[in-house]
Structure 1
């Protein structure tokens, strides 16, 4: 029997999915593990998809997406992100997962290195290793407010480093990088001539802090070329996780290359999903505001409850997660502890170690649930010491 490519064996499995898969085989589980919105898709979005099916809008589309959707994204980027691009820099993808992987494919070759946040979303490591490149974690630690340390990045960068991955608002931390930190990261990338891949999936869910797109901070001074790839998603914002629509915003001049790589990987995103995406972006956003208020109310309830029990956590300023310190109970192996919590207490949470070495002793809890379920799940975590 032939062998798989050797580097594929180095791609780690998802510690999040491990817990989730076990939970699907159990009864009466309070699931706080998957980043799944608990609100329904808005009616006008569903109707747009239905109209597309009824009209037999089921053919191939251009590699980059249907014209109305790309135009809507261009308008949205200028209005909400301060990022001004032409339509040939916008590429509709199968969720942000493909957008991120597409950006990695364009910037990383075998043996190259990518600086990735630790804790950071699992697919950062997985995607880099899928390309036979090497993920190099940079720490986001409590003593620094879970923000990057430029001095550490300077120690980690080598002549093989090609990419810096930035995620704000952060999954799993819920932290938002302030504008001054993003400027420092951009300056660092300039000094070492690195690409930046910016994951901005949770851009709409912020609490008291402003989300800033790092691409909006780039300038054309001295003829400098753009170095930022920005990945966005409709999944979390519009409760469209299973519909799989995201988009990648590229530096200029890559249209011919992007047509080729899109054709080689997905050809195009399915047509009805793209029409649903047009309705989502251009339609009423009342349901988005309601979802944000729901997650915010759950955050207030959850943090108040954790305070009453002496359990430490990171107060998030974005996304819909809560990063909770369970080191007083997890005995140095939070992955095993989370599995035991699931099997014995029927509560599914994501172990922090699934997001990198710095996540040991922490868990990620998804706030997208009923307040009753959320508090019931948190009540089964041992109190702090």
Structure 2
């Protein structure tokens, strides 16, 4: 059999999938390792998708998506991010992951560098490497609340640096960028002639703090920084988490002016277009009743509070989750410098699956990501089995 090229062979294993698939093979295990919303999809969304199939709306759509769906994404972006975008710059994509691949395909060449958060979602690194680029981790450290520092980023920029990846609210951290930090990050990118890809998959889920989109500070945004002489922010949105449509694979890219033609060509060369039925289901989600989103937000907040109460009782430290539906917890007292191996042992011995922090980069050693999106009783029971740290004298 011919060998795979190095850029394919070197794509790392996704440790989230690794532990989750192991958990699915263990009867009665409590799976807290994967971010799968637990609520049934709203009926009006299902009916819109089924209606498209009933009328045999199964043909190709335009590369960038059906006009009403693009307009609905633009309307949501204006409402939540405060940024007005023409629907012609909205590309409907097969979920945020395909959107990430599409955006990076247009921005980087062989050997180009992309600044990725560490800890950060693993497919940031995986996709850059698969496209022949070089992922360059920027550290997010406990002493700084796992927030980016401009001085760290500046020290990593080289002549090959092309893109800064941002993710707020963060998967895996649950952290949320402030207004001032977001503005400073956009200024940094423009000063260094970088593109920004802003992953905003969890923009609907923040707790007592606002979501701030970097596009607000880009050229054409309502608070454009002086450095922004042309738009450089690409925003990635998805309906997977917001409406529980993880399997329908529908999201959107919001792109700067001038990228439309090349993105259409790259879209044609990858998936051509998103399923029409998924697009009509997405349209119903975006434009119909929003009860699902409100119910999910309340559930995730309540689960966060229940989970932190358990960790507080055990004396386990964690990062205060201000967004998304994950809790980032410190198990360094138990993991012995190998959190990946420890999560496998913990699953085998206690029947609970947690995502190892090293799934998200080397800075995650000793930490675990806890998904807050499932049943409250399972969450509380699973976390109650965690080992408490030694008592402090």
Q: Shorter chain as normaliser: what TM range?
A: over 0.9
Structure 2 partner of 1:266: 271
Matched, 1:18 2:18: yes
Q: 1:114-136: per-residue Cα shift (whole Å, max 9, x none)? A: 00000000000000000111111
Q: 1:254-299: per-residue Cα shift (whole Å, max 9, x none)? A: 1111111111000100011000000000011111101110111111
Alignment map for 1:51-130 (pairs within 5 Å): 51-130=51-130
Contact 1:215 1:228 in 2 (8 A): yes
Alignment map for 1:318-329 (pairs within 5 Å): 318-329=323-334
Structure 1 partner of 2:322: 317
Q: 1:185-209: per-residue Cα shift (whole Å, max 9, x none)? A: 1111111100000000000010011
Structure 2 partner of 1:224: 229
Q: Return the alpha-carbon distance in structure 2 between the equivalents of residues 222 and 9 of structure 1.
A: 40
**SS at 1:16's partner residue?**
helix
Q: Which runs of 5+ in 1 are unaligned?
A: none
Q: Root-mean-square deviation (CA), in Å? A: 1.1
Q: Which runs of 5+ in 2 are unaligned?
A: 221-225
Alpha-carbon offset, residue 340 of structure 1: 0.5
Alignment map for 1:181-192 (pairs within 5 Å): 181-192=181-192
Q: Return the alpha-carbon distance in structure 1 between the equivalents of residues 217 and 105 of structure 2.
A: 24
Q: Return the alpha-carbon distance in structure 1 between the equivalents of residues 263 and 43 of structure 2.
A: 33
Q: 1:21-42: per-residue Cα shift (whole Å, max 9, x none)? A: 1112110100001110011101
Which of 279, 286, 290 in structure 1 is aligned with 2:284?
279
Are the structure 2 counterparts of residues 320 and 222 from structure 1 closer, same or farther at C-alpha, using a change threshold of 3 Å? closer
Structure 2 partner of 1:49: 49
Alpha-carbon offset, residue 2 of structure 1: 2.5
Q: Return the alpha-carbon distance in structure 1 between the equivalents of residues 179 and 63 of structure 2.
A: 33
Structure 2 partner of 1:207: 207
Q: Return the alpha-carbon distance in structure 2 between the equivalents of residues 18 and 259 of structure 1.
A: 34
Alpha-carbon offset, residue 3 of structure 1: 2.4
Q: Return the alpha-carbon distance in structure 2 between the equivalents of residues 149 and 270 of structure 1.
A: 40
Q: Return the alpha-carbon distance in structure 2 between the equivalents of residues 308 and 384 of structure 1.
A: 11
Contact 1:312 1:384 in 2 (8 A): no
Alignment map for 1:166-177 (pairs within 5 Å): 166-177=166-177
Q: Return the alpha-carbon distance in structure 1 between the equivalents of residues 244 and 227 of structure 2.
A: 42
**SS at 1:384's partner residue?**
coil
**SS at 1:201's partner residue?**
coil
**SS at 2:297's partner residue?**
helix
Across the two proteins, how many residue pairs are aligned to each other? 385
Structure 2 partner of 1:367: 372
Q: Return the alpha-carbon distance in structure 1 between the equivalents of residues 349 and 314 of structure 2.
A: 21
Q: Return the alpha-carbon distance in structure 1 between the equivalents of residues 364 and 238 of structure 2.
A: 25
Q: 1:193-226: per-residue Cα shift (whole Å, max 9, x none)? A: 0000000000001001100110111135688110
More displaced, 220-229 or 176-185? 220-229
Contact 2:187 2:227 in 1 (8 A): no
Q: Return the alpha-carbon distance in structure 2 between the equivalents of residues 85 and 242 of structure 1.
A: 27
Alpha-carbon offset, residue 80 of structure 1: 1.7
Structure 1 partner of 2:134: 134
Q: 1:319-376: per-residue Cα shift (whole Å, max 9, x none)? A: 0001010000000000000010111111011000110011000000101111110011
The normalised TM-score by structure 2 is: 0.96
**SS at 2:273's partner residue?**
coil
Alignment map for 1:283-302 (pairs within 5 Å): 283-302=288-307
**SS at 2:40's partner residue?**
coil
Q: Return the alpha-carbon distance in structure 1 between the equivalents of residues 54 and 346 of structure 2.
A: 46
The normalised TM-score by structure 1 is: 0.98
Q: 1:152-173: per-residue Cα shift (whole Å, max 9, x none)? A: 1111111110000000000000
